[in-house]
């Protein structure tokens, strides 16, 4: 699944200045706009379950789910056009750093651990990072992304300069690998990896979190507008309580969850959705005390790594950008 990227541009900086007050008012807060990070997929299933089963309605909320604009969900949430949205901890970093910091907070982890890694055709030596040498890799051309690849390749005794970086945004991993458009791709296994399984493409794969614990960051996360959180915390909590029920249902009944997502997004491949829901059932919450919980240590470890490697414009202070306060007790 494609990750939306935040670009540190003058437009973002201006938006940060312009969004000092979003004007959210309690009497209108029952209407919630939620912006996705990309097209509907199994990262979003709890949201669709909560809407389909009436959990939002029971909480007195009218929730509209919208697609992200070209410049991403985070800017839309920061500007007050949406109260909630989906982002990723790594993509959030520019929004939390320096003069261009935006008024957003991660209020829940959609999946408890980072399930992303590098996938390749089976048997071509890329089952470990060093094997990426002399092979092509589809890069988003992002500094954090490439620094992570460099870290795991060199940590495996490889030479990062020998990885052939091909700027490309792959939306169909199966076709890209089968056609040899590229040799290796960064995937979120619950979608891109499962797609190769459903299509009977044999692959090799390694996960970032298995190679460096610092890379077990939160991806994706639910983000919220800071002004909305401070001005109407009870509505924010009501929304998160209903959303939590949706994800708890997805954990308990993957097949039923798949049916609800396919009903909401009939363009999706049913076999793909069913397999992805089964894969994620024990990963949404994993060993955490409740769905959505963000561990401060893991959150800070990743941003400290970004700080140490000068991958942000200004250091991100510890405990910046997340809160567990809006999750149900």
**pLDDT mean across residues, the chain:** 92
pLDDT of residue 6: 35
In the predicted structure, residue 155 carries a pLDDT above the cut 50? yes
pLDDT range class, residue 30, cuts 50, 70, 90: confident
Please state, in angstroms and rounded to a whole number, the distance separating the CA atoms of residues 11 and 57. Answer: 36
Instruction: Report pLDDT digits (tens) over 208-255.
Output: 999 999 999 999 999 999 999 999 999 999 999 999 999 999 999 999
pLDDT range class, residue 7, cuts 50, 70, 90: very low
List the structure tokens of 224. 């919220």
pTM of the model: 0.90
Please state, in angstroms and rounded to a whole number, the distance separating the CA atoms of residues 227 and 281. Answer: 33
pLDDT range class, residue 13, cuts 50, 70, 90: very low
pLDDT of residue 186: 98
pLDDT range class, residue 266, cuts 50, 70, 90: very high
In the predicted structure, residue 98 carries a pLDDT above the cut 80? yes
Average pLDDT over residues 10-27: 38
pLDDT of residue 116: 97
In the predicted structure, residue 12 carries a pLDDT above the cut 80? no
In the predicted structure, residue 146 carries a pLDDT above the cut 50? yes
pLDDT range class, residue 21, cuts 50, 70, 90: very low
pLDDT of residue 296: 98
List the structure tokens of 105. 């907070």
In this structure, of 29-33, 37-41, 231-235, 248-252, the range with the lowest mean pLDDT score is 29-33
In this structure, of 4-18, 57-71, 176-190, 219-233, the range with the lowest mean pLDDT score is 4-18
pLDDT range class, residue 18, cuts 50, 70, 90: very low
Count the Cβ atoms, other than its own, within 10 Å of residue 310: 10
């Amino acid at each position: 699944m494609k990750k939306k990227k935040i670009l540190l541009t003058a437009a973002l900086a201006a938006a940060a200045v312009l969004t000092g007050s979003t004007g959210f008012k309690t009497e209108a807060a029952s209407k919630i706009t939620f912006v996705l990070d990309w097209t509907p997929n199994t990262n979003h299933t709890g949201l669709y379950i909560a809407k389909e089963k009436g959990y939002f309605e029971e909480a007195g909320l009218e929730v509209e789910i919208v697609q992200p604009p070209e410049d991403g969900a985070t800017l839309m949430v920061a500007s007050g056009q949406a109260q909630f949205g989906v982002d990723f901890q790594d993509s959030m970093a520019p929004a939390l750093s320096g003069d261009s910091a935006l008024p957003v907070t991660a209020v829940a982890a959609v999946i408890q651990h980072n399930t992303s890694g590098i996938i390749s055709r089976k048997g071509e030596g890329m089952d470990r990072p060093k094997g990426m040498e002399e092979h092509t890799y589809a890069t988003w051309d992002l500094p954090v992304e490439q620094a992570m690849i460099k870290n795991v390749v060199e940590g495996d005794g490889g030479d990062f300069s020998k990885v052939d970086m091909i700027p490309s945004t792959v939306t169909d991993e199966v076709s890209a690998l089968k056609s040899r458009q590229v040799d290796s791709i960064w995937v979120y296994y619950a979608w891109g990896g499962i797609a190769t399984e459903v299509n009977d493409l044999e692959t090799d794969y390694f996960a970032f979190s298995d190679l460096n614990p610092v890379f077990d960051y939160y991806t994706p996360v639910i983000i919220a507008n800071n002004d909305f959180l401070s001005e109407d915390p009870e509505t924010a909590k009501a929304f998160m309580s209903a959303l939590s029920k949706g994800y708890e249902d997805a954990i308990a009944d993957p097949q039923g969850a798949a049916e609800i997502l396919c009903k909401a997004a009939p363009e999706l491949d049913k076999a793909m959705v069913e397999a992805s829901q089964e894969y994620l059932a024990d990963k949404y919450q994993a060993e955490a005390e409740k769905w959505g919980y963000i561990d401060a240590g893991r959150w800070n470890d990743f941003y400290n790594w970004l700080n140490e490697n000068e991958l942000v414009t200004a250091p991100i202070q510890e405990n910046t950008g997340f809160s567990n306060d809006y999750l149900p007790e």
